[in-house]
């Protein structure tokens, strides 16, 4: 029929071969999980999200100023505090630089992760805000982020290590 507009469903887009897929849409926790499931994706675990965002500047740039839901099975640290993470994404109270610092608020809700914009990261002295307190009370997350379901765990290796590994298999 002439003049009819066809609606297309929004598509997840992989961010520069990181293995991370982002959909720019507003979604509460339930809708985020449903969208991931419908597209053969799963939510990131906290450690995966922190390491992947830290290692991939293009992913960090795309997620700055946005928050998204993480794997609901994770509960996060035991108490509200400031943490830093290491190369495997393990949280500890060891002081590191601002780019690896996470403020955590405990609560009963599934975890979400906010990636602060540069100025906010400078002022708060932390790039990330990990939240289990607010949940859907904040409204809808502006993005849905996930990895392929077949990905059981994101390998935390540098691109050079991955290339060497590929060469060793040949």
Q: What is the pTM of this model?
A: 0.82
Output the pLDDT for position 6. Answer: 47
Output the pLDDT for position 162. Answer: 41
Output the pLDDT for position 153. Answer: 58
With a cut of 80, say whether residue 33 has pLDDT above it: yes
Q: Which residue has the higher pLDDT, 9 or 118?
A: 118
Output the pLDDT for position 158. Answer: 42
Model confidence pLDDT, tens digit, residues 77-125: 888 999 999 999 999 998 879 999 999 999 989 999 999 999 999 999 9
Kindly give, in sequence order, each residue whose CB lies less than 8 Å from that of residue 51, ignoring residues fewer than 6 positions away.
Answer: 85, 87, 88, 89, 154, 156
Q: What is the mean pLDDT of residues 70-76?
A: 84
- Work out the number of other CB atoms within 10 angstroms of the CB of residue 60: 16
Output the pLDDT for position 91. Answer: 92
Output the pLDDT for position 136. Answer: 83
State the average pLDDT for the chain. 86
Output the pLDDT for position 147. Answer: 96
Output the pLDDT for position 154. Answer: 53
Model confidence pLDDT, tens digit, residues 144-164: 999 999 866 555 444 444 443
Kindly give, in sequence order, each residue whose CB lies less than 8 Å from that of residue 88, ignoring residues fewer than 6 positions away.
Answer: 47, 51, 156
**Rounded Cα distance, 135 and 131, in Å:** 7
Q: What is the mean pLDDT of residues 30-48?
A: 96
Output the pLDDT for position 103. Answer: 95
């Amino acid at each position: 029929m002439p003049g009819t507009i066809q609606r297309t469903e929004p598509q997840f887009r992989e961010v520069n071969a990181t293995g991370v897929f982002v959909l720019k849409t507003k979604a509460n926790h339930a809708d985020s999980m449903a969208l991931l499931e419908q597209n053969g994706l799963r939510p990131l675990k906290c450690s995966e999200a922190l390491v992947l965002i830290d290692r991939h500047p293009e992913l960090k740039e795309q997620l700055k100023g946005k928050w998204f839901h993480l794997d609901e099975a994770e509960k996060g640290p035991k108490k509200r505090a400031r943490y830093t993470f290491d190369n495997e994404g393990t949280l500890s109270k060891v002081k590191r630089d601002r780019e690896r610092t996470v403020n955590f608020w405990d609560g009963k809700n599934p975890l979400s992760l906010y990636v602060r914009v540069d100025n906010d990261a400078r002022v708060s002295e932390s790039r990330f805000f990990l939240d289990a307190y607010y949940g859907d009370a904040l409204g809808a997350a502006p993005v849905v982020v996930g990895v392929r379901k077949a990905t059981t765990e994101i390998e935390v290796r540098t691109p050079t290590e991955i290339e060497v590994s590929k060469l060793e298999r040949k």
